[in-house]
Structure formats: C-alpha cells, structure tokens
Amino acid sequence: MLDKFKFPPEGAGPSDPFVLALTAERRGDFEKAEKMYREAVKRKNTMAMVNLGVMLIYRDGSEKEAISLFRKAAEGGNDSGMRNMGYIHAIGLWVVTDKKEAVKWYRMAAERGNVKAQCNLGVMLRGGKGTPKDINEAAKWFARSAEAGYFRAQASLGSLYLNGEGVEKDPSRALYWFSRAAKNGSVRGMYNLGLMYRTGTGTTRNDRLAEELFRKAVSRGYRKAMFSLGEMLMSDGLEEEAIELFRKGALKGDARCMEALILRSTRTL
C-alpha cells in the first residue's frame, strides 16, 4: 500500500490548507479536499503532495500526475514520497518494474526513519532483488522497523531468528517477535506463532493456543493457516470441517490443501 499522511503536523493551524484538506477528506468531500491539497501544494507542502497523489490514483486514475507529485515530494525530502516512489517501481505500478530504482528510493526513505521503507528494503536485501543479497543488512533494517512497531517487519524478524538468518538462531526471540506481530494484526505472525505453539518450538506446546491463532489467521483469509488448522482438526476426528478448510485453501492456490484433498479422494475410492 502507498504511504499517506492522516494527521496534520504539530502546530498547524485550523486554517492551514493541508488541515482543511484532511478534514474535508474525512467528511467525504473530495472536491474540497482536492482543492485544499492543491493550495497546500502551491505552498510547497510535501505532505499535501503525497496525499494528493494517493487521492488522484484511487479516485481519478491520474497516475501520471500522482507519480510526478510523489517525485516532487521525495525530492523535497519527504520520506513518504520516497517510499511511494520505491513501491511503484518495486511492483511495476504504472511504471516499468525497476527493482534497482526501488531499492534506491527505499534506502533513502529508510535512512530517514520511514518504518515501511525499512521493512521494504529488508525484503529486497533478503531476496537479492535490485541489489546484491545481504541477509545481515536485511536483518538490521527489519530490526529497526520492528522495534519501531511495524508488524510486517516484526513477522520477518521473527522468521530470521527462527531460521538463524542474519542473526543467531534463537527460537525464544522468534516467539517474541511473532507474538508482537500477531498482537499488531499480522496474519503471518499469527500463523507462525501458532506453528511454534503447535510444535512446542521455543515454548511449551499448547494446541489450544495454536488452534486459536490458526483460526484468527483463517478468518483473515490466510491460506497456509487453512491447511494447518485442517490438519489439526483431521487429527481430532473433525473430518468434515477439515475438508472444508482444505477446499477453501485449495481455491486460494495452496498446494498442501490440494494434496490433502487428492489424498482424501484416493482413500475413498
């Protein structure tokens, strides 16, 4: 998702065009919001540039102007503008995919403290996308983002500790970061924390907690959790509910759910 500002800067007065734009947008008065954002842009407000760019994309499909606004904000030192430039180049959103360009912008934003960009940069470094693979540096950026509270980075850092990538292997630290991520709404955190409780990795085995976490992840549409919960239910004799979960997971493309259904069908022949 693109970065966007939701709150006015400290000390901004009620007559500030950016404040008026935020207020109008919250009320659903997008025509006034756009007018006020444009007024704020004239005053070189880089936050208004970012928000107007996002608004133009989602309301009018004016991607070309939006990208120009993001670039202008980024060149003005705005880390959200930088992060948005990285995002659109990373996934090829309205531009030709350019991982190297994405890394450049992510790094600029990350160095200015943008927690999403720090996590994004970690992902690129971990996978060697647009930059030489460097798991140690990836771990550093995931840690900075995770410590600042970003749930995706917390889940990623948990995985590094679980597998001993870029950090010393430490299941207890993995459990800690997966717990933080799950608490902050990460479905990947919920799922991995569930697996740790299911297997007793880094903690005492607790099937009740594992099932609870899997169910939360399933409710958010996480297909991996559909298989794991289905497997648990199958072992408890709840075959009908388990098969339904496998079906849902298979429809979402989960290979293990597909295999479970095939195995089930061959056994009933």
pLDDT in tens, 31-85: 999 999 999 999 999 999 999 999 998 887 788 999 999 999 999 999 999 999 9
Distance CA 65, CA 67 (A): 6
pLDDT band at 267 (very low <50, low <70, confident <90, very high): low
At 61 the pLDDT is: 73
Tokens of 222: 């996480």
Q: How many CB atoms lie within 10 A of CB 14?
A: 8
Buried b (16+ CB within 10 A) or exposed e, 135-151: bebbbbbbbbbbeeebb
Determine the structural domain holding residue 245 and report its residue range.
221-269
Query: Whose CA is closest to 36, among 54, 52, 59?
Result: 52
pLDDT band at 269 (very low <50, low <70, confident <90, very high): very low
The number of distinct structural domains making up the chain is 1
pLDDT band at 268 (very low <50, low <70, confident <90, very high): low
Mark out the alpha helices in 28-114 (DSSP H runs).
30-42, 46-55, 63-75, 79-91, 99-111
Residues 6+ apart with CB under 8 A from 76: 44, 46, 49
In a domain, 214, yes or no: no
At 95 the pLDDT is: 87
In a domain, 256, yes or no: yes
In a domain, 250, yes or no: yes
Distance CA 144, CA 159 (A): 15
In a domain, 235, yes or no: yes
